[in-house]
Structure 1
Amino acid sequence: MQWDDYDAALFDLDGVLTPTAEVHMRAWSRMFTDFLADRGGQEPYTDEDYFAHVDGKPRYEGVATFLASRGIELPHGDPSDSPDELTVCGLGNRKNALFNEVLHTEGIEPYAGSVLLLDHLAECGVQVAVVSSSRNAGDVLRTAGLADRFTVVVDGLVATEHGLPGKPAPDTFTYAAGQLGVPTSLCVVLEDALSGVRAGAAGDFGLVVGVDRGAGSRALREAGAELVVADLAELIVASDPVDPDELGGEGGAG
């Protein structure tokens, strides 16, 4: 990995910088498991459902895609719907309430290897931005102590405000590159979700890096990742070796 070839790194948040993907997975699982149990006659919700239909997508789109996979039709509703409403938005809001409950109760720590890479990029003069489908990105960054590292954060709220289609469309990444003032061809996209990797592959980006936090290296490559790593510390150039003792594990909510 030669960072001299690039001017900016565009990071997904959940599962790339912070282990909040695990919190999202638990919140989705609890919400959909209870929902399906109340309906009856449905196969249980699984982690495979998360990766295939939900991971990396805007919240309500994830709900709609999963419901469609089960042949379940619900009104779309409105973002102001109560979490008790049986609508796409209501279910999405129910999941979000569960996520925030865990986030604020347990807190979150960034992946140690991701922090090391951020430090390295700062030394190299490579600009950074966060590009997340989540509407909770600002809260997660503050809770993880990363907010002051990013002047550009393109999240679900920004996407809605500017009418940007969510991942797997490349528009949010392209918008972030524009905010940094860097041509997309000089940007590296770093993603753990298949929908996010597809978004990077659909745009004119210099490199798409898949971060394997569970989706699988093969699936990430098939989605368009040109390079797959298990930890972002692997992307620090070999001339600056990483002391394994500095990694201290992958972090976690705690």
Structure 2
Amino acid sequence: MPERTRFGRDGEEMGAGEMMAYARSVGSNDIFVTGRKENGNYVRINLERDRIIPNRIIMSVDIDSVIWVTRFPRFAKWLNIYMQPVIRKYAPIKKHNHVYIDVIYPPEEGKPNSTDVHARFKLSQVPHLFLGKVSEGNATANLYMHFPRMIHKHPHIRRFSNMVPWDLQGTLWEEVIIPAMRHVATPAELPYIGFNREELAFKAREKGEKRAEASYPFKPAQLTKFFEEINTIVSLIPWHCD
């Protein structure tokens, strides 16, 4: 047993390993209950006596989450695109996630060479919605679509409103998302995508689902064309503002 350091007239310093060895030698766990040895000496525990100096240290990194903000997303794996809006009580990012964006305002009318004015907003303050997700094992990555031009405060509570209205989401899916999905889908995939809201709601009722979140997986090459087609459609529809 390692040498112990005496302190006082009736005390003794021991490590946890030494206490366990002592308990085994006397056949009793009283030292852990009373803090004293059989000879009456008190025990002061010092865990530093059990320290181990490692010969090798292996370091690893555990990535809890990754937030990627981009106008041109690229993926290396299949990703599921929702075939109808996913409505929740709160916006997908309901709390500040410590990510900011800078929004640049257009030049003032009549002053094309004026200095650009920009403002910084929290990502959670920008109106956004669910667009897709990719799942692998226990890990899930969500894809959100943000609308910086819709940044505004609620007229009554004076807080930023980050939810996209239901009717606007429905219009977005019917006029932009579904047409873009059908544009990149193969002939064999077309029968499984492109349902309107009424058809999806009917299918959900048949299955007894309370909340339908129908989606369809697209491979990386299709996703790139899908996002390009979204930009093309938005640039051509009448309510788009350049």
Question: TM-score normalized by structure 1?
Answer: 0.22
Q: Compute the TM-score of the two structures, normalised by the length of structure 2.
A: 0.23
Q: Which has the higher contact order (CA 8 A, sep 6+)?
A: 1
Larger helix percent? 1
When you count strand as a share of all residues, which structure comes out higher?
Answer: 2
Greater gyration radius = 2
